[in-house]
Structure 1
Amino acid sequence: MYYLYRLLTRLSASAVLKRRLKAGKEDAKRINERMGKASLRRPDGALLWMHGASVGEVTSLITLTKKIKKAYPSLDVLITSGTKTSANLLAQRQMDGVFHQYIPLDHPAWVKNFLDHWAPDAAILAESELWPNLLMSVKARDIPTALVNARLSPKSFKNWSKLKGFAGQMLSTFSVILTQTDEDKTHYTQLGHNNVITAGNIKYSAPPLPYDAAELARLQTKFKDRPIWVYASTHADEEALACRVHAHIKKTLPSVLTLIVPRHPERRDAIAAKCDVEMGAPVLFRSAMATPPENTEIYIADTLGELGLFYRLADIAVIGRTFSNDGGGGHNPLEAAQLGCVTLYGPFFQNLKDIFNEMHDQGAAFLVRTEHALQTEILKLFLDPVLQKQYQDTALNYMKDKADILENTYQEIIHILPPSIKGGA
């Protein structure tokens, strides 16, 4: 099976990369990195390589990186990812001795280029990044490797179970697998790994999203005493939904301000067209008007790295991709809860179902299944500030109770780090 996969990736990787580039999913200036050709020189000394697919995984790795760098301050860390948004995130969160490259596509020669150049002393991969050529090449070089924040959905587990021998061969690359839940632990164990530990989800331990304090103060002054809610990380059709919800709430609360933060800001033209139809008038985009007038009704933050600002500005947050039935199944609700928002989400949350379900059970987030229910819940919260404050405090306390997950993960990770890294402490 593995040899067939190697052949298929040799034949298809170039075409896949060209399609992604044409679709705007790749950074044309750094396209060589996707073929394993480094754009940076490898630093001298020990190097820890960490990899996460996109923004969510990279956010967790940043948290873990800071913990490791505190113990080993002279250690250089390479973080790889596969999306432009995650690269932008790392550019915004600059850290000494930490740098970014795009991960090569899983072509055998491209993987070899990457590993030949970087020659990492150890590797930490996040969540469910199971690329056969990459993993088998890492194993062949005897690089100590861990899979952290590991998860495996029932669907993925079912698919890998049909290829159990192949899956076991890949998973043997990892010295340890640290899972988010006991269910994930069971899945990885049944696929053949014998060192699987439930450590919890590092997302709980991530620091609050950054923000510009002066900008927050300016916007708070401008929108003083207005009820504000934010629809965060929206996908197709969710912006139009936000406009309809806004129109409904405005009948009772004319001063309501709706903030929309699209997951992919490059969709701004499509968003504008849909919102104009729903509202009957243009909406304001932050990229065009950083200083909105006081009577702004809907403000769309088509900028990168400002979600932390808008969570702090809003009282209520609705989590994106939970009303979009595109198979994605929701974005991270923890960031909103951590900043004291009452957190609401729709019926499609399978991507992070364990987090959503636990938050719901603990009263830290609330499921609203329909557009009408969303309208009703937001309006109820705005009209009852005591209830709103109660829910906000519950969310903050829930997040405080998860503070030990990062430490648990770190303690397991240090066991696999080789002397070349530990000697640099």
Structure 2
Amino acid sequence: MYLFISIFYRLILWAVSPILFIFILIHSLFSPIQFIPYLYKTGILIPKVLKTKPVIWIHGVSAGEVASIQGIATLLRDQYHLFITSSTISGWIIVQKLYPSDTLSFFPLDYPIIYKRLLKRIEPKAILFIEGEIWPNILKESIRQGIPCFLLSGRLSDKEFKGYFKLKAFFGEVFNCFKVLSMQSEEDCRKACDLGVEPSKVFMGGNLKFDLKIDSSISQRHISLWQKDSFILIAASTHRGEEAIILKTYENLQHSFPNLKLVIAPRHPERSDSIANIANKLGLNPMKWSKYRELDPPEPINDRKVLILDTMGELTCFYPIAHLVLLAGSFVKGIGGHNPVEPAYFAKPIITGPYTHNFNPMIGEMLSKSAIIQLENTGEPIGKALVSTIEKMILDPHLSTSLGDKAKDFISKHRGSSLRTFNEIKSYLSH
């Protein structure tokens, strides 16, 4: 069964390659920022890797994953040169910011002609995959070449697990390519074993994101945004469909709470214009952060109560001034929520929506500690519950403070995954 599916997978890749090539050309034409990433992903560009030390390749799909490797990267860097890849533009921005002394690139497409050339050029001693992006061909080729692969901070959502389990004969073999699977929770460990992974390979190392080293370099511009008696609400990592809900919620609240201000931080900043259009239709007169940064000197914008964060990598600089955080990606179906670690790190009270299937174990544990508020899916418009919950938090500062403190305490008690994981894999790296 594995051989049949593997051959079928490769045939599909080659069958879609002409379409993929056309897509890359068109996408690069309409979105020039994607042109250079595609040169790396297709193997046309391969960065030169310093080989004064053995090379360790670390891959995280996007911004959150590559940010989470700071701890383990520090532990590895004394003995190894790091080759760090991401799959997205947001991840690329973060790796450039956090790892300037390492060799950086984009993860290659899963075609033999591409990844064989890359493996030959960089000659990694090991490959560390973060969380769960699984590429069967490159995994198999790495094992064939004697390059051990590790899954760190592994996570299997219910949706992913169901999909993998339907093709257990194939994905069980793929996951067994890993020398060690360091999973985030006991539930993730169980799911890995249910897929057919040898239990001796699986252990609970925890979530690397708990060890995040977060940039909190708040500037005078952030402090000067609004007058000091403002109550600042941040909607973090919003997606299409959520901004309309949040902006309407804000419109309903601002009459009762005139000092309430809103910062909307879209997951994809290129959508900022469409968000501004929604706000303008509600008469909210938003301002973009990129425009505010041009003010010299910075001054309060008290007449502009909605700010759109239209830049990448700056959300953590806003958390220190926030009074309440709406953790988005959870107010509409199909996304699965986002990680609460960053706002919790700053001891901020967090409200999340009902759709958090990608983070159910963590959200569930935080709920048991009264460290987060999750709105229920009652069948009624979620905006109604959002209005009443925000109103409750504004009127009860003690509740807000307590919620934020418990979130901070939850994060603090789960730190240490980087060291645990490093200790588990270091013996394999020394061979």
State the TM-score, normalizing by the size of structure 1: 0.91
**Which of 175, 180, 184 lines up with 2:184 in the alignment?**
180
CA drift of 1:263 comes to: 0.6
- Please give the alpha-carbon distance, in whole angstroms, between the structure 2 residues aligned to 1:293 and 1:213: 16
- Please give the alpha-carbon distance, in whole angstroms, between the structure 2 residues aligned to 1:230 and 1:59: 21
Instruction: Give the structure 1 partner of residue 90 of structure 2.
Output: 85
Instruction: Give the structure 2 partner of residue 198 of structure 1.
Output: 204
Instruction: Give the structure 2 partner of residue 53 of structure 1.
Output: 61
CA drift of 1:403 comes to: 1.8
Instruction: Give the structure 2 partner of residue 286 of structure 1.
Output: 289
- Please give the alpha-carbon distance, in whole angstroms, between the structure 1 residues aligned to 2:20 and 2:238: 26
- Please give the alpha-carbon distance, in whole angstroms, between the structure 2 residues aligned to 1:151 and 1:389: 31
Q: Does the 8 A contact of 2:136 with 2:174 survive in 1?
A: yes
CA drift of 1:155 comes to: 3.0
Deviates more, 1:36-45 or 1:78-87: 36-45
1:394 aligns with 2:406: yes
Deviates more, 1:251-260 or 1:53-62: 53-62
1:106 aligns with 2:110: yes
Where 2:259 maps in the other structure, the secondary structure is: coil
Where 2:68 maps in the other structure, the secondary structure is: helix
Where 2:171 maps in the other structure, the secondary structure is: helix
Alignment of 1:340-379 (within 5 A): 340-369=347-376, 370-379=382-391
Q: Does the 8 A contact of 2:325 with 2:349 survive in 1?
A: yes
- Please give the alpha-carbon distance, in whole angstroms, between the structure 2 residues aligned to 1:281 and 1:129: 40
CA drift of 1:415 comes to: 2.3
Question: Partner amino acid for 1:146?
Answer: F
Instruction: Give the structure 1 partner of residue 379 of structure 2.
Output: none
Deviates more, 1:225-234 or 1:389-398: 389-398
Question: Partner amino acid for 1:229?
Answer: L
- Please give the alpha-carbon distance, in whole angstroms, between the structure 1 residues aligned to 2:21 and 2:286: 36
Structure with higher RCO (Cα < 8 A, 6+ apart): 1
Q: Does the 8 A contact of 1:13 with 1:107 survive in 2?
A: no
Question: Partner amino acid for 2:429?
Answer: L
CA drift of 1:179 comes to: 0.8
1:336 aligns with 2:343: yes
Where 1:27 maps in the other structure, the secondary structure is: helix
CA drift of 1:409 comes to: 1.5
Question: Partner amino acid for 1:184?
Answer: D
Percent of matched pairs sharing the same residue: 29
Q: Does the 8 A contact of 2:285 with 2:304 survive in 1?
A: no
CA drift of 1:286 comes to: 1.0
- Please give the alpha-carbon distance, in whole angstroms, between the structure 2 residues aligned to 1:286 and 1:229: 15
- Please give the alpha-carbon distance, in whole angstroms, between the structure 2 residues aligned to 1:308 and 1:197: 31
CA drift of 1:235 comes to: 0.6
1:405 aligns with 2:411: no
**Distance change in 2, residues 1:284/1:214 (3 Å):** closer
Instruction: Give the structure 1 partner of residue 11 of structure 2.
Output: 7
Deviates more, 1:11-20 or 1:233-242: 11-20
Question: Partner amino acid for 2:362?
Answer: I
**Which of 165, 172, 191 lines up with 1:168 in the alignment?**
172
Where 1:288 maps in the other structure, the secondary structure is: helix
Instruction: Give the structure 2 partner of residue 211 of structure 1.
Output: 217
- Please give the alpha-carbon distance, in whole angstroms, between the structure 2 residues aligned to 1:368 and 1:25: 40
- Please give the alpha-carbon distance, in whole angstroms, between the structure 2 residues aligned to 1:89 and 1:386: 35
- Please give the alpha-carbon distance, in whole angstroms, between the structure 2 residues aligned to 1:85 and 1:272: 21
CA drift of 1:218 comes to: 3.7
CA drift of 1:158 comes to: 2.7
The CA RMSD over aligned residues, in Å, is 1.9
Where 1:415 maps in the other structure, the secondary structure is: helix
Q: Does the 8 A contact of 2:218 with 2:318 survive in 1?
A: no
Q: Does the 8 A contact of 1:208 with 1:339 survive in 2?
A: no
CA drift of 1:21 comes to: 5.7
Structure 1, unpaired ranges of 5+:
420-425
Q: Does the 8 A contact of 1:227 with 1:256 survive in 2?
A: yes
Instruction: Give the structure 1 partner of residue 327 of structure 2.
Output: 319
Question: Partner amino acid for 2:351?
Answer: L
Question: Partner amino acid for 1:83?
Answer: T
